[in-house]
Amino acid sequence: MTDFFKDIPAIKYEGPKSDNDYAFRHYNPDEIVMGKPMKDHLRFAAAYWHSFAWPGGDPFGGQTFERPWFSDTMEAAKLKADVAFEMFQILNVPYFCFHDADVRPEGNSFAENTKNLEEIVDCFAQKMDETGVKLLWGTANLFSNRRFMSGAATNPDPDVFAFSAATIKTCMDATMKLGGENYVLWGGREGYETLLNTDMGRERQQAGRMLQMVVDYKHKMGFEGAILIEPKPQEPTKHQYDYDVATVYGFLKEFGLEGEVKMNIEQGHAILAGHSFEHELAMARELGIFGSIDMNRNDYQSGWDTDQFPNNVPEMALAYYEVLRAGGFTTGGTNFDAKLRRQSLDAEDLILAHVGGMDACAAGLKAAAAMLDDGKLEAARNARYAGWDTDAGQTLMNSDLDGITSSVLANNINPEPISGRQERLENLVNRYL
Ligand code: XUL
Ligand code: CO
């Protein structure tokens, strides 16, 4: 045991009336919701990068956090792993997620990076065995090091493409070795700053080829998890190719990968793309590519990806409503891609941030389940489209413009507008919260 979280107890469910900061009010892991335990609906994961690798910087200032593991040595990486697994246990999160660069010291070459990663993977394997904590997904950080400043797969320099491909392979190997349930690709620098120096055609082809190689390697190695792309419209690059769910779907179709790759949808990224989170979730469900979620909250005024811990229950309810409508998670889960504010310096801040986030998600899930169980929202939606289920509606779909025109004339069709009843439905939703 380290002394980082000293005096902080394991967090238990105490119910909504508890006034203990170190307790769950809504997250009751074994409580049955729609036929299965809450923990199996939510499948919570903690993100290694924000909680353990981020120093607290912003565009105007550097490190605010002082952590005993902040140094680029293997010894420090192992101390960081000790503390990380202590946090997973205090919170009782079943999963974690990591990038290679979060967990290993940065080497001077690809070979050194690989050796460092392998050493940490062995250390993780032992800790996972001891604690029962599992890996939701692994990924490669192909955006922080300066070699990736002009992109990874989409870099104008083929050597960077090669370095990136080799790094992805090592991260897929690590994920497979640790029994990870998904492998994620987020293209933070797969985009451009200015079209003046960018060959967009080539860059898209390079990105497509890299993704095909990832899928080929998944099959070659026998990885049974899902390959997930995480859309984001911009930040760090001005324009990113994986703009949103619909854009990525078009890209997958173009490269023949629509049956191979699903989506990891992040709340804050949806907001940056000008969508609601539930829009992106519903779009992925309709396209058959819903996979997993990165849970956080974005500031609605700043226009940055602020990665705050979620605490807005009405938003969570609408999000989990779409997750439940998609049939829930299979390999996916709820990963807290969220970080503390840079003034929240203490170890307890890290715990309480997750406790609040887990409770907000659990409260949202319960409200979403009640909405679905009750069936009033779905009944209203179905009633709105009921005309399409009639014989006339079906005939219309299989007709053509000539046939339809004759029918409009023969039946003197002259539609009367019908209320969309939005406020009534909004009032209904509020009753479940
Ligand atoms: C960045 C982001 C990443 C991905 C994984 O905005 O969300 O942390 O989740 O690379
Ligand atoms: Co994310």
Residue closest by Cα to atom 10 of ligand 1: 186
- Report the residue count for the chain: 433
383: left (phi over 0), alpha (psi -120 to 50) or beta: alpha
Q: Residue 319: how many CA atoms within 13 Å on its side-chain side?
A: 33
Tens of pLDDT, residue by residue, the chain (433 residues): 999 999 999 999 999 999 999 999 999 999 999 999 999 999 999 999 999 999 999 999 999 999 999 999 999 999 999 999 999 999 999 999 999 999 999 999 999 999 999 999 999 999 999 999 999 999 999 999 999 999 999 999 999 999 999 999 999 999 999 999 999 999 999 999 999 999 999 999 999 999 999 999 999 999 999 999 999 999 999 999 999 999 999 999 999 999 999 999 999 999 999 999 999 999 999 999 999 999 999 998 988 999 999 999 999 999 999 999 999 999 999 999 999 999 999 999 999 999 999 999 999 999 999 999 999 999 999 999 999 999 999 999 999 999 999 999 999 999 999 999 999 999 999 999 9
Residue closest by Cα to atom 8 of ligand 1: 337
State the distance from the centre of ligand 2 to the C-alpha of 6, rounded, in angstroms.
29
Spatial distance between the Cα atoms of 289 and 263, rounded to a whole number of angstroms: 6
Let me know if 242 is a catalytic residue.
Answer: no
CB 308 within 8 A of CB 294: no
Residue closest by Cα to atom 4 of ligand 1: 186
Nearest atom in ligand 1 to the alpha carbon of residue 235 is 6
Question: Residue 303 to residues 160, 204, 234, 409: CA-CA distances in angstroms?
Answer: 30, 26, 11, 51
Provide the token pair at 373: 């169980």
Q: Please list, in sequence order, all residues whose beta carbon lies within 8 angstroms of the beta carbon of residue 19, skipping any fewer than 6 positions away.
A: none
Task: Give the 3-state secondary structure of residue 155.
Answer: coil
Spatial distance between the Cα atoms of 309 and 353, rounded to a whole number of angstroms: 6
Q: Is 280 in the pocket of ligand 1 (CB under 6 A)?
A: no
Spatial distance between the Cα atoms of 231 and 241, rounded to a whole number of angstroms: 8
Provide the token pair at 408: 């409009």
Is this model's pTM higher than 0.95 or not?
Answer: yes
Quote the crossing angle between the two packed helices 158-177 and 200-221, to the nearest 10°.
30
* CATH superfamily for domain 12-374: Divalent-metal-dependent TIM barrel enzymes (3.20.20.150)
How is 241-310 classified by DSSP, letter by letter? SS-SHHHHHHHHHHTT-TTTEEEEEEHHHHHHTTS-HHHHHHHHHHHT-EEEEEE-B--TTT-S---BPP
Q: Which of 159, 121, 156 is nearest to 138 (CA)?
A: 121
For residue 144, the ligand closest to its alpha carbon is 1
Question: Residue 346 to residues 10, 60, 102, 310, 398: CA-CA distances in angstroms?
Answer: 17, 22, 20, 19, 64
State the distance from the centre of ligand 2 to the C-alpha of 363, rounded, in angstroms.
22
Chain mean position to CA 379:
30
Provide the token pair at 305: 């990806």
CB 284 within 8 A of CB 262: yes
Nearest atom in ligand 1 to the alpha carbon of residue 188 is 1
The residue to which tokens 């993977």 are assigned: 121
Show me where the domains of the chain are located. Answer: 12-374, 379-430
Q: Is 181 in the pocket of ligand 1 (CB under 6 A)?
A: no
Beta-sheet pairing, 23-24 with 12-13: parallel
pLDDT at 121 (0 to 100): 98
Residue closest by Cα to atom 5 of ligand 1: 186
For residue 305, the ligand closest to its alpha carbon is 1
Residue type, 390: T
Let me know if 21 is a catalytic residue.
Answer: no
Question: What are residue 239's DSSP bridge partners?
Answer: 192
Spatial distance between the Cα atoms of 381 and 319, rounded to a whole number of angstroms: 17
pLDDT at 196 (0 to 100): 98
CB atoms within 10 A of CB 157: 11
How is 330-372 classified by DSSP, letter by letter? SS--EEE-----TT--SHHHHHHHHHHHHHHHHHHHHHHHHHH
Q: Is 102 in the pocket of ligand 1 (CB under 6 A)?
A: no
Spatial distance between the Cα atoms of 396 and 407, rounded to a whole number of angstroms: 9
Helices (H) and strands (E) counted in the chain, each on its own, are 16, 14
pLDDT at 371 (0 to 100): 98
Q: Is 51 in the pocket of ligand 1 (CB under 6 A)?
A: no
Q: Is 173 in the pocket of ligand 1 (CB under 6 A)?
A: no
**Catalytic residue (choose from 26, 50, 99, 275):** 99
Q: Is 266 in the pocket of ligand 1 (CB under 6 A)?
A: yes
Task: Give the 3-state secondary structure of residue 74.
Answer: helix
**Catalytic residue (choose from 102, 242, 307, 337):** 102
Question: Residue 196 to residues 69, 140, 146, 193, 235: CA-CA distances in angstroms?
Answer: 42, 29, 21, 9, 19
pLDDT at 227 (0 to 100): 99
pLDDT at 313 (0 to 100): 97
State the distance from the centre of ligand 1 to the C-alpha of 51, rounded, in angstroms.
13
